[in-house]
Chain A
Amino acid sequence: MMPVRHLLVVSCALFSLGIFGVLTRRNAIAILLAIELILNAASLNFVLFSRLFGDPQAQAFALFIIALAACEATVGLAIVIGLYRTAKTVFTDQVNLLRG
């Protein structure tokens, strides 16, 4: 088996890329994608440690995460669609109605 460190780096890299995408992307859908990436990174982390400690419960948790991600993506997309209907755009830097 390959050293844990390498997989952790991958997971960390995915996570960071996801964070970076959330913070940086203008398109709302792209933000959602980045969030999926974060979720995937977390899920990978679970699988990794499950293999490491030999506990299959973590793998089950990874399945939960996948289901959860699907739901959350749905809701997120519904919000984006609602946003599009109202603001006629999906770019977050063009929507500042809640500005105080």
Chain B
Amino acid sequence: MRQTLAIFVDSYRELNSKMMFWISLLISGLVVGAYACVGISERGFTVLWFEIPAFINSTIVPPDTFYKWVFANLGVDMWLGIGAMALALISTASIMPDFVSAGSIELTLARPVSRVRLFVTKYLAAMLFVILQVSVFTAAAFLVIGFRGGQWIPGLFLSIPLVTLMFSYMFSVSVFVGVVTRSTIAAIVAVAVCWFVFFSVNFFESIMLVQRVTNEVNVRQVSKEIETRQTQIDREQARIDAADPGARSSQDVEGLQRTLARKLEEKEQLAKSSDSLVWWHRVSFAAKTPLPKNAATLEILQHLLMKTSDFDGLFTAVDDRNSAQQRGERRAMGANQRIISKEVDEWNRSLGWQYVIGTSLLFEIFLVGATAVIFWRRDF
């Protein structure tokens, strides 16, 4: 325990000595400051003591939903998930190469601590960088929302483990390359490349999912339209048959039949592309499964903080406005889009946080385990 504590204290001193740590903390302060300036009122948004009249206001989006959305999307996703994450990964990239460098590692290995314990402790201690950053940011955001918005939301603190988890996925790559090559630059480049690859694979999967869901929604709508047309045709035909059983179909019926034929053809086309989209989505889903899911990990925060129904008020208001302003197909497209978004969101939620964190952690455990074996076996 004494040795573990010593490594943690040393890691704290190390990150304390890094300029980037303080720069990152300063930017976090500015982000929270900006967060403190923004609010929502019955007439629209507020910035400091100014009020900006807007369609979106506290009557359709409750203040707590607004603050949670801003925190999760702008504070966590944008700043902690991208900006602070990049700074943290750059700052911590040198930790392992420095640790295993000649002249330094000898001092540490010649101690009554097993190599695996030494490595794992050092690895976990490096998480302090992010844990401290996110803790300070979240605590400040919690207080700002509490005092300014009157909303006390303890759920915000879930961002600490989630952001740390996301950092740890990428840090495992940095540590692996850092231990193997003993080069900070190589570690940073590897993290950048892997981040891009993980993002690309996950992004491709999400595109495929949207395409698949869109296709499914379209198939349902076309099927519904076919059903409607068929009913209309049957009704019309029945009416004609009742009046004059020997009469030919009216022009209306023929028109309906032509429309029905078009829709059937459309359905056939959609069914064909549906098979292809399902296959591509399965492939991309299989490809992303063993990889870390950075964005999805942070989305868990949104899923935990907010329900889809939290925005029902907003959607209803948007629908009402659109009914007044838009007509026909355009209005239908908007509604369709929302159905697709909702289904995609539900599909993602159905995977559960266990899938997202579990598969990502498996990747991390595998990589850290491999690094630990290399560290354990290596002669320094």
A and B assemble together:
no
Could you list which residues of chain B lie within 8 angstroms of chain A, going by C-beta atoms?
none
Residues of A within 8 A of B (CB): none
